[in-house]
Amino acid sequence: MNHFINQLPKAELHIHIEGSLEPELMFKIAQRNGLTLPFASIDEIKSAYQFENLQSFLDIYYASADVLRTAEDFYDLTWGYLEKIATQNVRHTEIFFDPQTHTDRGVEFATVIKGIDQALQDGKSQLGISSHLILCFLRHLSAESAMKTLENAIAYKDKIIAVGLDSSELGHPPSKFQAVFERARNQGFLTVAHAGEEGPASYIWEAINLLKVSRIDHGVRCIEDETLVEFLAQSRIPLTVCPLSNVKLCVFKTMQEHTLKKLLDRGLCITINSDDPAYFGGYLTENFQAIQEGLGLTNLELYQLAKNSFEASFLSPIEKEKFYQELDSFMAQYPSQ
């Protein structure tokens, strides 16, 4: 393992907590809840993780989330993720959760929040990892369903910093959720949205202009629109890029073809993230390592990506400053090439 990458202080800004459900924990929770999985073994599960596109992944991801029923399940899921990233010097994380995936199966919103929030509090006190929680609406469902979910979330405003948009992108543009996001902003939530993963660059413009997002999740298809690339460089609206996810879901055929270095060189605020680490072959260290190997990034470029992760976070200016200083003292021990 690359010691520099693993020990680099970093933040994660694009992780679906349901996507951190490792097969081992899936089996344990299924057993605890008296459920039978459609897989006979952990190896069988892992070999099913071959995807042609986003939808082929989402089908398995939603089916697997069905084992999650109790607050304890959501606690164990979140705690497992936090324990893992603690070994990779992830200092701060902003976690997505998909309440509709659970409330549509009869699991209460309160149950989901209770388990995740308790683990995040323990993550802070026992592992020193700070965090924020971001609620994602499933864009393949209706705007009415998203609005109902938002109404449920208002009671937990103190625990949820932002709302976002995930699931099947094509055919579900950000404009579908304009009214929901407007109400969310009026209620004090920040906003983010998945856009330009499989969808066109015009979805990124919509997320910026109609949903008033602070960050774009994925956003790699911005490269097809030169005006947009210039706008993103000048505004520093961050992209939360997920390299291993992009290759696993065939957004890029190989890591060597990934465009993140080109975008970084153009001055965009690019960050590196794991998306669904249990499904795509790794957590933050593995993502950094894959781009370092595939794109030949220098230590200085990796440092810039880590610095961007704090800049792009929802931390306060004082908290960001503290992490920049931590990063700079870390860098002083290493050559920059």
Judged by the rule CB under 5 A, the positions of this chain that interact with Zn ion are 275
Catalytic residue among 18, 22, 94, 197: 197
Taking the complex as a whole, the smallest distance from the CB of residue 50 to ligand HPA amounts, in Å, to 16
First to last CA, the chain: 18
Annotation marks residue 12 as catalytic: no
Taking the complex as a whole, the smallest distance from the CB of residue 234 to ligand HPA amounts, in Å, to 26
**91 backbone dihedrals φ, ψ, rounded to 5°:** -95, -20
The full DSSP string for 255-277 is: GGG--HHHHHHTT--EEE--BSH
- For helices 178-186 and 143-153, what crossing angle results, to 10°? 10
Which of Zn ion, ligand HPA, none has residue 167 at its interface (CB below 5 to 8 Å by kind)? ligand HPA
283 or 303: CB nearest Zn ion: 283
242 or 295: CB nearest Zn ion: 242
> Which residue is nearest to ligand HPA, using beta carbons?
166
Residues that bind ligand HPA (CB under 6 A): 16, 19, 54, 61, 166-167, 194, 197, 245, 275-276
Taking the complex as a whole, the smallest distance from the CB of residue 294 to ligand HPA amounts, in Å, to 19
Query: How far from 100 is each of 36, 58, 168, 195, 300, CA to CA, in Å?
Result: 23, 14, 14, 19, 41
**139 backbone dihedrals φ, ψ, rounded to 5°:** -75, -15
Which of Zn ion, ligand HPA, none has residue 197 at its interface (CB below 5 to 8 Å by kind)? ligand HPA
Closest CA to 163 of 218, 111, 211: 211
- H helices of 187-283, in order, are 201-209, 226-235, 243-248, 260-265, 277-280
Residues written for the chain: 337
Which of Zn ion, ligand HPA, none has residue 93 at its interface (CB below 5 to 8 Å by kind)? none
12 or 276: CB nearest ligand HPA: 276
19 or 243: CB nearest ligand HPA: 19
Taking the complex as a whole, the smallest distance from the CB of residue 18 to ligand HPA amounts, in Å, to 7
Alpha-carbon distance 103 to 41, whole Å? Answer: 28
Taking the complex as a whole, the smallest distance from the CB of residue 242 to ligand HPA amounts, in Å, to 7
Alpha-carbon distance 221 to 259, whole Å? Answer: 9
Q: Which residues pair with 75 in a beta bridge?
A: none
Which of Zn ion, ligand HPA, none has residue 54 at its interface (CB below 5 to 8 Å by kind)? ligand HPA
Which of ligand HPA, Zn ion, none has residue 19 at its interface (CB below 5 to 8 Å by kind)? ligand HPA
Q: Which two tokens stand for residue 129?
A: 């990892």
Active-site positions read: 197
